[in-house]
Structure 1
Amino acid sequence: MCSTSVSMVSDIVDMNRSPSERQKDLTAHRWYSMEVWAVGQRMKAER
């Protein structure tokens, strides 16, 4: 329940922002996801 309201709020915030800013956010999020994934892989390999 809480997560849906949060996503709705973030959608509203996104609408108020320019497409270029949104694109920057997407790129940053993609890089962050890749970093997290790489760290997870490394931890798995070390185990």
Structure 2
Amino acid sequence: MTTVFENPAALLGTEGTALGCTDWLQIEQERIDLFAEATGDHQWI
């Protein structure tokens, strides 16, 4: 479900409220490599 805020004040009014969450996503090395290639950022952390 998507939450739409009519204005910034409406968003600020949700402070401290859980707006929703998604399922866990396992990040594989291939996805990391693709991100590095797309952004040009191959620096390891």
TM-score, normalised on structure 1? Answer: 0.30
Higher radius of gyration, 1 or 2 = 2
